[in-house]
A and B are shown apart, each in its own frame.
Chain A
């Protein structure tokens, strides 16, 4: 993390102080009249957040995150002694080694030392079912179950930033639904952080007006309840958001940090910026789905060149910036980033394997792997399926209790969680 980043705000506050005093601090003021500045290094006291980055088409986990093909000596997917970097070189258990593509050397030391690879033995080789499975936990939406179990006071507990929505079940879990965020400025306005504008409705009256809209819509909902389900949930979220104390955000700060020219959430940089905004507003889980499906369905990419190039250009620059700002010793939140796709690629043709190797980066990750594959892209026997992935995310986000709330069996990847 750069010195400039640590002291990037005009106030002279560092990032953790800034967020605490503008968002959480505002909430604390509203409820108790007290500041609630965070204690540096107090990881346990910082709220947890999850950023799920999904690469539809088939993220190339085998060569990016679980580079154990190196050990097989097959040379598949262009994996050579110089293509990977061991993040835990002193690890003696080959199954627990984390060897990733050299491009991940760009991440900050804290992120690299909190990098895990999670095996998901889903056995699915068709795109549609695989996409849905990765967002499913115990038959429900994994992201919604997680966002609900994490609790908190945010009015938007689960957000999808950008045009692409997550896959899998859409039914609300614990009253939590996915809220799509396409523009940071209008989101800031709804949160009460916009520049004063006489054409902007007062928050209390707007909440009452939207309650009136909901009341007027009862008969309409009966006409097509499936089509209008997001309207029904949207009224609830809008009212809750407007009833919360105002939260101050500076979109210019985010635009400058992520080198953006507008607040529209279109590019990967903008999606990362929006994710950061949503976390600061109280959101628990944010999803980013990369729109370039064809980029990740890398049939015939036997050297891995296409997959590497796609990740390096489409994802890595924004991922580095986001992790530099949010996954550090002094970050305001315990953010865990997961990077996954439909499946690993099969060898040698780079087709569809029935496994996934998911990268999870965050402060509670104990460096290690349950996702290292063999030359046939198989995971160790007994590796859990998608329920296990969401159990781990629950554990990282609130301990075994949250893990069990997400999936009854809890977290099978306990070796990836710091004691």
Chain B
């Protein structure tokens, strides 16, 4: 998981590096909120700092069977994840395609408040992430759901978009996986209580989002477990909906 996190961070860093500016020095200026990064930092230094993920991120998430006793307490650490962001737009650069077509035409040129993040995962990424959350066992509905999601041609990338149907389908896959996993988790054998709901919500938020849920987010999740599904008599169904609501949230379907 550490390797994956570091790779992801480096990948995003590399993208930001090139997206902010063409010149290295200028690029360093463009990155404003990378922890304690300075203009003097080398690229390697910067990557090293970005690789220093909060401990709770690395520790979270059940390994092997859920509920192994190694889960991080969501309230244990509130260290915010590292966020990088451009501080300036590079609107001067143009990209011309064949026939002089402006390849930037129609592209949104804005500063994203929290950096170049929260972009919708393409299905291949979403697919592996869902599988990871469910102990590397893909829900049965995952593979057959692939045609629902927009895809790009080989060696091409199209920014995915979401729709009511892709979100419902994501929920359905996550519910399917949740049904399976809830049967093997000791804290999901009984109907949700405020205590178990908080624990499971925190556990899956850490696992899915790679960060702890905020108190408000935990409260929303607990509401699904305790209030919204209260009329349901099948305990597994209640927990499956709770897990599905986390895995259909923007923090999971985007990165």
Q: How far is the CA of A128 from the CA of B99 in the complex (A)?
A: 12
- Is the CB of A156 closer than 8 A to any CB of chain B? yes
Q: How far is the CA of A272 from the CA of B198 in the complex (A)?
A: 47
- Is the CB of A235 closer than 8 A to any CB of chain B? yes
> Which of B46-54, B115-123, B124-132 lies at the interface?
B115-123
* Nearest residue, chain B, Cβ from A208: B228
User: Do A201 and B220 form a contact, CB below 8 Å, given A186-B145, A210-B168, A220-B250?
Assistant: no
Interface string of A258-271 (1 = CB under 8 A from B): 00001111000000
Interface magnitude class on chain A: 35 or more
> Which of B18-26, B64-72, B105-113 lies at the interface?
B105-113
* Nearest residue, chain A, Cβ from B161: A230
- Is the CB of A221 closer than 8 A to any CB of chain B? yes
| Contact call A212/B245, Cβ cutoff below 8 A | yes
| Contact call B171/A238, Cβ cutoff below 8 A | yes
* Nearest residue, chain A, Cβ from B164: A237
Specify which of B162, B163, B166, B232 lies most central, judged by the most chain A CB atoms within 10 Å of its CB. B163
| Contact call A213/B118, Cβ cutoff below 8 A | no
Which of A128, A213, A227 is the one whose CB lies under 8 Å from B248? Answer: A213
| Contact call A182/B148, Cβ cutoff below 8 A | yes
Q: How far is the CA of A200 from the CA of B176 in the complex (A)?
A: 7
Question: Which residues of chain A (161-211) have a CB below 8 Å from chain B?
Answer: 163, 165, 167, 179-183, 185-187, 189-190, 199-202, 205-206, 208-211
| Contact call B241/A208, Cβ cutoff below 8 A | yes
User: Do A201 and B253 form a contact, CB below 8 Å, given A155-B164, A224-B118, A237-B164?
Assistant: no
- Is the CB of B249 closer than 8 A to any CB of chain A? yes
**Chain A hits for B241, CB < 8 A:** 201, 205-206, 208-209
| Contact call A234/B175, Cβ cutoff below 8 A | no
User: Do A212 and B223 form a contact, CB below 8 Å, given A127-B101, A217-B249, A264-B147?
Assistant: yes
Nearest CB on B from A101, distance (A): 28
**Chain A hits for B250, CB < 8 A:** 213, 216-217, 220-221, 228, 231
- Is the CB of A215 closer than 8 A to any CB of chain B? yes
Question: Which residues of chain B (199-233) have a CB below 8 Å from chain A?
Answer: 213-214, 216-217, 220-221, 223-224, 228-229, 232
- Is the CB of B28 closer than 8 A to any CB of chain A? no
**Chain A hits for B249, CB < 8 A:** 213-214, 216-217, 220
| Contact call A208/B147, Cβ cutoff below 8 A | no
User: Do A199 and B168 form a contact, CB below 8 Å, given A132-B106, A215-B220, A234-B163?
Assistant: no
| Contact call A241/B164, Cβ cutoff below 8 A | yes
| Contact call B217/A219, Cβ cutoff below 8 A | yes
Q: How far is the CA of A228 from the CA of B121 in the complex (A)?
A: 11
Q: How far is the CA of A218 from the CA of B245 in the complex (A)?
A: 14
Nearest CB on A from B243, distance (A): 9
**Chain B hits for A231, CB < 8 A:** 120, 162, 167, 250, 253-254
Q: Please give the number of chain B residues whose Cβ is less than 8 angstroms from any Cβ of chain A in the complex.
A: 63
Nearest CB on B from A4, distance (A): 29
Q: How far is the CA of A339 from the CA of B161 in the complex (A)?
A: 25
| Contact call A228/B102, Cβ cutoff below 8 A | no
- Is the CB of A93 closer than 8 A to any CB of chain B? no
Nearest CB on A from B89, distance (A): 13
**Chain A hits for B120, CB < 8 A:** 227-228, 230-231
Q: How far is the CA of A319 from the CA of B46 in the complex (A)?
A: 56
- Is the CB of A44 closer than 8 A to any CB of chain B? no
| Contact call B228/A205, Cβ cutoff below 8 A | yes
**Chain A hits for B151, CB < 8 A:** 163
User: Do A179 and B253 form a contact, CB below 8 Å, given A128-B102, A223-B112, A227-B119?
Assistant: no
* Nearest residue, chain A, Cβ from B232: A205
- Is the CB of A98 closer than 8 A to any CB of chain B? no
Interface string of B65-107 (1 = CB under 8 A from A): 0000000000000000000000000000000000001100110
- Is the CB of B57 closer than 8 A to any CB of chain A? no
**Chain B hits for A147, CB < 8 A:** none
**Chain A hits for B232, CB < 8 A:** 202, 205
Nearest CB on A from B177, distance (A): 9
Please give the residue numbers on chain A whose beta carbons come within 8 Å of chain B beta carbons, in ascending order.
Answer: 127-129, 132, 155-156, 163, 165, 167, 179-183, 185-187, 189-190, 199-202, 205-206, 208-228, 230-231, 233-238, 240-242, 262-265
Please give the residue numbers on chain B whose beta carbons come within 8 Å of chain A beta carbons, in ascending order.
Answer: 101-102, 105-106, 108, 110, 112-120, 139-141, 145, 147-151, 159, 161-169, 171-172, 175-176, 179, 213-214, 216-217, 220-221, 223-224, 228-229, 232, 237, 240-242, 244-246, 248-251, 253-254
- A-B residue pairs in contact (CB < 8 Å), sample of 6: A186-B165, A202-B232, A210-B245, A223-B114, A227-B112, A230-B162
5 closest cross-chain pairs (CB), A and B: A237-B164, A223-B114, A217-B250, A224-B118, A208-B228
